[in-house]
Chain A
Amino acid sequence: GAVVSQHPSWVICKSGTSVKIECRSLDFQATTMFWYRQFPKQSLMLMATSNEGSKATYEQGVEKDKFLINHASLTLSTLTVTSAHPEDSSFYICSAIDLTRAQYFGPGTRLLVL
């Protein structure tokens, strides 16, 4: 089946620094990728839709300047959390859509901002 990877799997950073998370579709091309955030014992919260070659579409309430998304190629999207603060600590999950329009998820990245 389709495989999506994320890197890093976990990261600890100081408040005020920026963190980049990579999402790759390993065995298929994805024109669309999604970025989600998940709080403990809660369902996925869609942050933005990442489209290859164009600007990301952000959900209401998600700061574009804080969560920078770049879909540089058909297999790579990156999420940069700029000037991270403790409230940004969360589990970030990406997903990619394959040609059948099925959605496959990455393993997630746990971010802890001190």
Chain B
Amino acid sequence: EDQVTQSPEALRLQEGESSSLNCSYTVSGLRGLFWYRQDPGKGPEFLFTLYSAGEEKEKERLKATLTKKESFLHITAPKPEDSATYLCAVQAASGNQFYFGTGTSLTVIP
């Protein structure tokens, strides 16, 4: 069964304290793994797409990596404005459907 698990459920960091969010997945053929940021009361904002193991992508303080079983979203020297819920989704090769994790709620304290 295709599924996505994110950990931790919630994370509190001091400003400048780097950390990583995890997204573990099982899927019958990976078409792509997606990271999104969601602020309260808004739709998810696209961050990255990763297609194959070993791939890495960066954007400002965020870096996403992918292996055959999991993806990490590394946050370097976070700022309070990075506080949000980060969602991971996996798209199976067999179709259009996306499988979402439950998200990690990140709070960065000044």
Contacts and interface: CB of A to CB of B under 8 A. Distances in A.
Given A97-B96, A102-B32, A44 B41 contact: no
A34 B46 contact: no
Interface stretch (A64-72, A76-84, A105-113): A105-113
B44 to A, nearest CB: 5
A43 B41 contact: no
A32 interface: yes
A4 B44 CA distance: 11
A103 interface: yes
A58 interface: no
Interface in A20-36: 32, 34
B43 A108 contact: yes
A93 interface: yes
A49 B87 contact: no
B41 A91 contact: yes
Given A101-B31, A102-B49, A103-B89, A44 B97 contact: no
Interface stretch (B13-21, B60-68, B72-80, B100-108): B100-108
Chain A at the B interface: mostly helix, strand, loop or mixed?
strand
Contacts of B89: 103
A61 interface: no
Find the residue from B43, B91, B100, B101 having the highest chain A CB count within 10 A.
Answer: B43
Contact of A108 (B42, B49, B91): B42
B102 A106 contact: no
A43 B101 CA distance: 7
Interface of A: 1-2, 4, 6, 32, 34, 41-44, 46, 49, 91, 93, 95, 97, 100-108, 110
Given A93-B43, A101-B96, A102-B34, 13 more contacts: A4-B43, A41-B105, A42-B102, A43-B101, A44-B87, A49-B97, A93-B44, A97-B96, A101-B91, A103-B91, A105-B44, A105-B46, A106-B43
